[in-house]
Amino acid sequence: MSDRFVNTSARSRRWTRSAFSIGAAAVVAVGTLAVPATANAQSAINTMSGEEGSVGHGSANEGSIEAWTPAGAPERVPERYLPDPSGDPWYDRDLEFDEDAEPGTILDVRPVELPSMGLHRIASSWQVLIRSNDTNGDAQVAVATIVLPKAEWKGEGPRPLVASNYATDSLGLACQPSRTLPKGIAPTAPNAQLDPRFLDQGYALVIPDHQGPKAAYAAGRQAGHVVLDSIRAARSFVPPNGDEAPLKDSKVAQLGFSGGAIAAGWAAQIQPTYAPELEDVFVGTSIGGVPADFGALMTTMNGYLGPAGIFRAAVLGVAREYPALYRLLNPAGDVFAYTSRNACSEELHWQGAIPLPIDDLTMDKHVLGDADVRQILVDNAMGPNPERPEEIPTQPMQVWQGDTDAPIVPNTSIAIGDYWVPTWAVKRMVSNWCEAGVQTQYQPVPGEHLVSAGTGADPAYEWIDARMRDLPLEASCN
């Protein structure tokens, strides 16, 4: 990785690509950034603490001197870097439950309104607390939102269910879908376009807070547990004013982009072992902009103007499930981890104005050489894993990606590809799934990462709708 800092032509290309990505982000209302790169971690901290300008975070105490003072070694415990309570007693209470209860068991329920989806579409909507598991299989409480539409399902069979996994991409509990949707805050693409469309066609939705109670952004195995347990809960859910579960016989499909693709992809991958009873229930999973290999992202996001903030957040999110990573933090890394602990996606995108690589936040400048880091990368790489050959999707998969091979008009190929999530890594995952016998359709779409969230929406909807209506599966492993 050291050649990134001495090869000036590579650095120039890096800034050019990042500048384009930031401009594209403005198109989808993420915003443009125009802050010069800082030379090192201390300069970045000075900038963000107000000495050379100000970039906001989500922590309540971040304006204090103490927040910007590195903690001593005895204070650098995992709890220091966890998010603050959400502020809603329904979530934050110390809920007593039977840890031996089956994953997916509903522990509590309350009604909720979702104005961003259009109240005219919704017959009823509910939030449920669910018994789930973290990465290590320890019991935890997760949250999901269940939405029942007014529209009738006009296809064959019972009303189908879509697990809509949002690109939450955040470190704070206040950023999770169950908190933002009731406030009228719409999700990002493609869910913003497709959730109302699904409801209008008679689909029910379950929207998991797939990052879990620690907001463990990018921790795929934990997210997969929450998604599968949310699907279990939705299919068993009996509304308080009802006498039966309206979705008990529903077929299920999944949708997810970027951070949502981590959750949906891992749910599909671990379903055969974690939720084998759902094998005949799933009809397929559609995922786009898939961060399949975090090691590959080190070459496209780490230290790059624009995606650097989201990449740093992903590392901190994974550390919440793998706390051994915290021992690698240097004083600057400690401050970043602490002051970013409640940051939502928008703030993390703004943090990308400081293209600070992870290497400057750790004591070891070659973190990929650390044994714990290497094992975590293996454990969180989507696709067949020789160490766990039983973890492989048994359902059809659609994978869409911003790709230079995507034709914008017939017989042309002038699309701009994804500079954040490398296409070669996604294609490698698809190829490996195909070799393992997974029916996988690769769908190139125009645009870089953020734009492809929108350009992939229609192909994703059409593919999911075709699976639900039992139409013939188009050529896979293409």
Domain ranges of the chain: 2-83+297-378, 96-292+387-468
Task: Write out pLDDT tens, residues 185-226.
Answer: 989 889 999 999 999 999 999 999 999 999 999 999 999 999
Shortest CA distance to 399 belongs to which of 365, 444, 448?
444
282-288 vs 49-50, strand pairing mode: unpaired
Tokens 């492993």 identify what position?
477
- Does the pLDDT of residue 53 top 60, yes or no? no
Eight-class DSSP state of 37: P
Does the domain made of 96-292+387-468 have the CATH classification 3.40.50.1820? yes
Distance separating alpha carbons of residues 295 and 464, to the nearest angstrom: 30
Distance separating alpha carbons of residues 131 and 450, to the nearest angstrom: 33
The residue type at 253:
A
Shortest CA distance to 317 belongs to which of 365, 405, 376, 273?
376
Q: Quick one: pLDDT at residue 474? A: 81
Task: Write out pLDDT tens, residues 142-154.
Answer: 999 999 999 999 9
Q: Quick one: pLDDT at residue 184? A: 93
Number of CB atoms found within 10 A of residue 209's CB: 27
The pair of three-digit structure tokens given for residue 10, joined into one six-digit string? 């590579």
Under the phi-then-psi rule, with left for phi > 0, alpha for psi from -120 to 50, and beta for the rest, what region is 452?
alpha
Task: Write out pLDDT tens, residues 78-109.
Answer: 999 999 999 999 999 989 898 899 999 999 99
CA distances from 6 to 1, 2, 9, 352, 420 (A): 10, 7, 9, 21, 21
More confident call, 49 vs 298:
298
Distance separating alpha carbons of residues 173 and 335, to the nearest angstrom: 19
More confident call, 174 vs 51:
174
pLDDT band at 242 (very low <50, low <70, confident <90, very high): confident
- What lies within 8 Å, CB to CB, of 305 at 6+ separation is 14, 15, 18, 19, 22, 33, 37, 352, 353, 355
Task: Write out pLDDT tens, residues 120-147.
Answer: 999 999 999 999 999 999 999 999 999 9
Q: What angle do CA 316, 455, 253 make, to 5 degrees?
A: 70
CA distances from 352 to 15, 27, 146, 341 (A): 12, 17, 33, 16
The pair of three-digit structure tokens given for residue 345, joined into one six-digit string? 């996606």
Number of CB atoms found within 10 A of residue 51's CB: 11
